[in-house]
Amino acid sequence: MKVLITGAAGRLGRKLAPALEANHDLILGDVAHLDDPRFVPLDVTDLEAARSAARDCDAIAHLAILDWTGCVAAEAVRYAADAVRVHAIGTYNMLQAAWEAGVRRFVYTSTVSAVDGLPPGTPVGSDSRHYSNGLYGMTKGFGEDLCRMFHESLRLSVTVLRLGNLFIPESGGAWFGNVYVLDLATHPVPGLTPSRVHVDDVTRAIALALETPEPGYALVHVVGDNPGRQWDLEAVRRLYGWQPRYTFGADGLPVAT
C-alpha cells in the first residue's frame, strides 16, 4: 500500500517508517524537515497541502501533533490556540483529504490523555467517550469525534488507537504522569506509569490497524498489560490479534513477556 505518515519526523514517526517500509511505499509528511527522499513538506492545518499529500494514497497514519514538552504554564494560552489548530483543524483536514482521495484506511493515534479526566482507577472500555481536563487530551479527544463523524457520515474506514505513554529505548527517558524523566538509567523514577507501552508494540499495532481489512470503524487502547492498567485491551486483541510483548514495572523499564 501507499501510506502517508503525518508527523513523520516526530518520536513515533521516526520509528514507524522503518517498521512499515518493508511492506509499504511511504510518504513522510511533516512541517519539520526530514533528510529522506520520501519526505514531503506538509502542514496539516493547510487543507490544500493535506489534499496534495493524500492524493493516490491507500492509507494514512495521522500522527502529527503539537508537542507540549518543554512548555511552561505561561505558554498555555499560546499552546491552546495552536493545539486547536493542529489537533482539531489539522485532523479535520487530514480526514477530509483522506475521504476525497478514497483512502482505504485512516489510522488516528489518539492518547490515553483523552480520558485522563475520569476518576483514577475507573475502568476505561473501548466504548468510553473521551473526558479530559487538559488541553492536549481535550483536543486529541475532539480528533476522536471527528474520526467517528467521518466514518458515520461518509463511511471512511477509520481506526482510533488510544496510545499509552511511549517507551522508546533510544531516547533513554519517558513520561511519568506529567513529569518527563530524561534518563531512566541515572534518575530515580517517580513511580509506576500503568499506561506505558513499548514503541515496538505501538508500531506493530499501527501496522495491524492499517492492514486489517475490517472493521470499518474501531477505537481501541494500545498500552502495556501493566499493573494498575485501567484501559481495556479486549477489543484490540479481538479485532487485531494484538497484545503487548512488553510490560513495565515500578522502575519504568520494560520486561519482555
Ligand X SMILES: NC(=O)c1ccc[n+]([C@@H]2O[C@H](COP(=O)([O-])OP(=O)(O)OC[C@H]3O[C@@H](n4cnc5c(N)ncnc54)[C@H](O)[C@@H]3O)[C@@H](O)[C@H]2O)c1
Q: CB of 200: closest distance to ligand X in angstroms?
A: 14
Longest CA–CA span in the chain (Å) reads 51
For ligand X (CB under 6 A), the number of binding residues is: 28
- Contact between 77 and ligand X per CB under 6 A: no
- Contact between 233 and ligand X per CB under 6 A: no
What is the C-alpha to C-alpha distance for residues 247 and 230, in angstroms, rounded to an integer? 14
- Contact between 115 and ligand X per CB under 6 A: no
- Contact between 135 and ligand X per CB under 6 A: no
Residues 6+ apart with CB under 8 A from 28: 5, 8, 9, 13, 17, 34, 36, 38, 39, 40
Judge whether 33 and 8 are in contact, CB under 8 Å: no
Residue 8 or 103: the one with the smaller Cβ distance to ligand X is: 8
Residue 26 or 44: the one with the smaller Cβ distance to ligand X is: 44
Residue 13 or 213: the one with the smaller Cβ distance to ligand X is: 13
Q: CB of 149: closest distance to ligand X in angstroms?
A: 18
- Contact between 210 and ligand X per CB under 6 A: no
Residues 6+ apart with CB under 8 A from 82: 66
Q: Report residue 41 CA to chain centroid gap.
A: 20
- Contact between 146 and ligand X per CB under 6 A: no
For the chain, how big is the Rg over CA atoms in Å? 17
Residues 177-206 that bind ligand X (CB under 6 A): none
Q: For ligand X, which stretch binds (CB under 6 A), given 37-45, 152-160, 184-192, 239-247? A: 37-45
- Contact between 7 and ligand X per CB under 6 A: yes
Secondary structure of residue 13 in the 3-state scheme: helix
Which position has the grid cell 483522506? 98
DSSP 113: G
Identify the CA nearest to 199 among candidates 2, 8, 19.
19
What nine digits make up the cell of 197? Answer: 507501552
Q: CB of 60: closest distance to ligand X in angstroms?
A: 12
Which residues contact ligand X by CB under 6 A?
6-7, 9-13, 30-32, 42-45, 63-67, 86, 90, 109, 111, 140, 163, 165-166, 175
